Structure 1
Amino acid sequence: MSSHSIGRRVLRKAAAPATAVALALGLSIALATPATASGTYTGKPFVYGDSLLTSDWDDEGIVDVSTHRTSDVTCLWQTILHADGYLPASAVDGIFDDQTRLATVNWQRSRGVNPDGSVDRATFARAGQRIVDNGFSSGNRNGRYQGTAGSFLVRRPAEGGNWTFIPPGRGFVAAAYNWRTC
């Protein structure tokens, strides 16, 4: 028997009592985020892509007042709202607040997306259609989000990888779901 098989058996045995206790207490164990469980999200910690720039954002997670509320993906979304004239630069801070929610509803309404104030797969996909491919340099696929009131730079590794973007007044920021540097 290989050490990998033994390790897996030990892990299963160790996890079984904890699962039984949780179930006995009426607790549910969530092994995936709601977006992952519904099949709408890759589950990666960053906005990730490996195809055409304009279709890379069609499998992203949810960003709203309760999910990834404080994150650099929220900052990416706010930068999109700013480029389209829905938020001032001063509101691009990586916190999905009431102002961001209202701007999101208005953005969605104007683009024929369900105006629920939650940035989901369909909303990200619609925004991704506004990315202009600027080609390759230094191992990156470079682009620009072309909004109705302005634009900003985006990039990811040429062969696929994590997206970065430039919010107003800053340098490149990684589009991460689990932290906020914006």
Structure 2
Amino acid sequence: MTSKRARFAACTIGALTAGVLALSATPASASGTYSGLDYVYGGGVFADDWDNEGIVDTGHNKQSNATCLWQKILWADGELAASGIDGDFGSNTAAATARWQTKFQVGSDGSAGQNTWTAAGNWLRNSDYGTSGNTVAYYIGTSHVISVSRDSDGYYHFTDGDGSGRIAGYNYRTCS
């Protein structure tokens, strides 16, 4: 009787702990699709760099440099005006994201999650190593080409809407 009660208590505590941990995790990490890093990250070949990025949308990382990079991608593919590159995922960015997803045959929900980032990553092309030791790449859009680089830590760098250099982070916004 005591062993059954102890096993039941241990299972209950384990289930409660798992529930608390799941609630405290971000939605992307809770689903097992997010790398958990604070930055848009890559390593090795460019082909799979964006396969495990976090979500950017109106409810996740809404105001961030990762959102700003996503907006640059939307601009490169003709879905967002340059004036819309501000690092704030609002209704215009959501509508542009849904159009982009339709164009690239990704589930169209207006949220840039794992499938959307993975599809965008298919258009990254490696160039060479830059003078600063960063690996330089290009995102080949249907309307524009944007230059991105990956530093020695694997973090992605890009220029925002006004031409300032930025690091694509999820938890801060310096884009304008």
TM norm structure 1: 0.81
Partner in structure 2 of residue 86 of structure 1? 79
Partner in structure 1 of residue 5 of structure 2? none
Displacement, 1:28? Answer: 4.8
Q: Please list, as runs of the form range in 1=range in 2, the aligned pairs for 1:1-182 lying within 5 A after superposition.
A: 28=20, 30-137=23-130, 138-158=132-152, 160-182=153-175
Displacement, 1:168? Answer: 3.0
Alignment partners' CA distance in 2, 1:51 and 1:80? 21
Q: Is the 8 A contact 1:64 1:118 kept in 2?
A: yes
Alignment partners' CA distance in 2, 1:171 and 1:141? 19
Gaps of 5+ in 1: 1-19
Partner in structure 2 of residue 7 of structure 1? none
SS of the equivalent of 1:49 reads: coil
Q: What letter is aligned with 2:142? A: T
Gaps of 5+ in 2: 1-12
SS of the equivalent of 2:126 reads: strand
Q: Is the 8 A contact 2:86 2:160 kept in 1?
A: no
Deviating beyond 4 angstroms after TM superposition, the runs of 4 or more aligned structure 1 residues are: none
Identity of aligned residues (%): 43
| Number of equivalences | 157
Alignment partners' CA distance in 1, 2:81 and 2:154? 29
Displacement, 1:157? Answer: 2.2
Q: Is the 8 A contact 1:141 1:157 kept in 2?
A: yes
Q: Is the 8 A contact 1:152 1:167 kept in 2?
A: no
SS of the equivalent of 2:139 reads: strand
Alignment partners' CA distance in 2, 1:181 and 1:62? 18
Alignment partners' CA distance in 2, 1:64 and 1:129? 20
Alignment partners' CA distance in 2, 1:154 and 1:50? 14
Alignment partners' CA distance in 1, 2:158 and 2:85? 13
TM norm structure 2: 0.84
Alignment partners' CA distance in 1, 2:44 and 2:32? 19
Between stretches 29-38 and 113-122, larger displacement belongs to: 29-38
Alignment partners' CA distance in 2, 1:54 and 1:144? 12
